[in-house]
A and B are shown apart, each in its own frame.
Chain A
Amino acid sequence: MVNKIDDVQQDFPILNQRVNDERLAYLDNAATAQRPRQVIAALTNFYETDNANVHRGVHTLAERATKDYETARQKVQKFINAPSADEIIFTKGCTDSLNLVAATYGEENVHEDDEIVISVMEHHSNLIPWQQLAARKHATLKYIELTEDGELDMADAKEKITDKTKIVAITHASNVLGTVTPLKELADLAHQHGAVIVGDGAQAVPHMPVDVQALDVDFYAFSGHKMMSPMGIGVLYGKADLLRAMPPYQYGGEMIAAVHRDQSSWADIPFKFEAGTQNIAGAVGLGAAIDYLTSLGMANVQQHEQALVDYVLPKLLAIPDLVVYGPHDPAKHTGVIAFNLKGLHPHDVATALDMDGVAVRAGHHCAQPLMETLNLTATARASFYLYNTKEDADQLIKAINETKEFFKIGTI
């Protein structure tokens, strides 16, 4: 078992390869993280020894698979400090979790002339479900704006959240600007006005300690794949009383208490929201990823990434003709760093960096309203994780300088 964060690279076989004949610097972690051997081994072990469907068999493998699945749920509960494992619903991912809340809680509680409040920095997954809900219900969708620095404007939040507000849905950490929002403050504000708050933790849970009770969020969503577990598994946390009052999301097997010809009754939470065969192996993999993160310590993970930001952000800011979005103070910036080279489209930048072995994302990052607000069509984005090193950061800086040289930026 690895305990030192400085030695984790050896746990990630995929990082040990050359891309375009260069050392791979994987800096696209905000899109998806890589998986350590421990997670891959947990999947192999599940499929080689325990695989069966859960909750509906009496044979030994079914019992083992059920235990594996429910143990994973308890690991998630503990990881985000939820009061009870019943409040942990497994989903396909963060998008699925957010759609679940919009389609159930939202459908029942948002009415004509009500308000839903989100922010301009939301990922499309925490935007479109609310936009469409508002349209269906003839409710109003309101956006909290940003400060100059790219942080959430709390003065504007106080204006936008009113007694008409039924739902406040805000990202915990931006997937473009690298800012962290004051979710607890927003939760208090929402609750003062009788609204519920939904936290989008996709870019937060993998990178920092998260305590849903301390945040006092009513719902909190995140994906497994950004925290080193398989794709196709995600989590929705919800307060038990809210979840119990909500109608099911989908209908089918597993989610029922009793079914008759003309009517049915529903299972208790969390099963009411887990219709059909679930991604059992995905949950097992998520449990293994949580074990891995816990063994390192989330405070250490956060500290490691912060040290990388402290190192790389000033170097990026020092490059002429390079623009960094979001706060320029490293203390206010997560490991998600969006940037552009003046006069060169980010797609060209990303292709050039790839030739130097540096994997970054280029595009609108599923945040088109934010791009519009920033008056941009796209940016490049480097995003760091616990296995990244100063060597990766140096490789990024070198590749950016070579890209500038190739396209002769700043010389014509």
Chain B
Amino acid sequence: MGLSKLNGLYREVILDYANHPRNKGELASTTNAMTLHNPTCGDTINLQVEVADNKIKNIAYTGDGCTISQASASMMTEAVKGKTTDEALAMAKTFSDMAIGKKHDDADLDKLGDAQILTSIMEFPARIKCATLSWWALQRALLKDDKEENDNE
């Protein structure tokens, strides 16, 4: 098989997001924040969100990780910027469901924008967590779920 199967996972658009990350950095004003780690590989995401009038006015992340986790964080911030928190939480749920193979209709998937390309992650079970980490961070930041980070499984 060789590396040809990798084309499904590392599509050009994914590599582009990883190599030219969007919204990477820190916000001047933050209302919601979350740091999550992937304990198996040491990936980290620090997510900062500025919520105003129930809308995501600004969002940024810093962190370190593999191509998939960086691309996913980059895509996630692009997808949710300007959305209401409810919309963003629904998108996070769609993405998490999608990553574990649960079906959603096309309308839900379309809302994810470029991020839906990462459905290809399902073919690489060991890498699903890389893609979902930033969406979990978003969920927990918006819900202000800052309880002790004890299980990212």
A residues whose Cβ falls under 8 Å from a Cβ of B: 20-22, 344-348, 351-352, 355-356, 362-364, 368, 371, 377-378, 402-403, 406-407
Contacts and interface: CB of A to CB of B under 8 A. Distances in A.
Given A363-B40, A364-B41, A364-B42, A352 B66 contact: no
B66 A345 contact: yes
B107 interface: no
B127 A355 contact: no
A378 B39 CA distance: 11
Given A347-B43, A406-B3, 5 more contacts: A345-B67, A347-B41, A362-B41, A368-B42, A377-B64
B41 A348 contact: no
Interface in B53-95: 64-68, 70
Interface of B: 1-6, 9-10, 15, 40-44, 64-68, 70, 124, 126-127, 130
B3 A355 contact: yes
B66 to A, nearest CB: 4
A352 B41 contact: no
B9 A351 contact: yes
Contacts of B4: 355
A158 to B, nearest CB: 33
Contact of B6 (A345, A346, A347, A351): A351
B65 A355 contact: no
Nearest to B124: A351
Nearest to B5: A355
A406 B65 contact: no
A403 B10 CA distance: 12
Given A345-B66, A345-B67, A22 B42 contact: no
Among B1, B4, B9, B15, residue most surrounded by chain A Cβ atoms (within 10 Å)? B1
A355 B1 contact: yes
B41 A378 contact: yes
12 contacts: A20-B5, A345-B65, A346-B66, A348-B67, A351-B9, A352-B3, A356-B3, A364-B42, A377-B43, A377-B64, A406-B6, A407-B10
B96 to A, nearest CB: 20
Contact of A347 (B15, B44, B127): B127
A356 to B, nearest CB: 6
A8 B113 CA distance: 53
Given A351-B9, A378-B41, A20 B1 contact: yes
A412 to B, nearest CB: 8
Contacts of A351: 6, 9, 124, 126-127
Contacts of B65: 345, 347, 377
A206 B16 CA distance: 44
A395 B73 CA distance: 33
A20 B1 CA distance: 6
Contacts of B130: 347
Contact of A377 (B15, B42, B67): B42
A22 B41 contact: no
Among A345, A377, A378, residue most surrounded by chain B Cβ atoms (within 10 Å)? A345
A352 B1 CA distance: 11
Contacts of A356: 2-3
A364 B70 CA distance: 18
Contacts of B2: 22, 355-356, 402
B67 A21 contact: no
Contacts of A352: 3, 6
A403 B6 CA distance: 10
A370 to B, nearest CB: 12
B29 to A, nearest CB: 29
A402 B127 CA distance: 20
A20 B2 CA distance: 8
Nearest to B1: A21
Closest 9 pairs (CB-CB, A-B):
A345-B66, A347-B66, A21-B1, A377-B42, A363-B41, A20-B1, A364-B42, A378-B42, A348-B67
A368 to B, nearest CB: 7
A153 B65 CA distance: 31
B3 A402 contact: yes
Contacts of B43: 347, 377
Contacts of B127: 347, 351
A305 B44 CA distance: 36
A371 B42 contact: yes
Contacts of B6: 351-352, 355, 406
A363 B42 contact: yes
Nearest to A20: B1
A121 B65 CA distance: 22
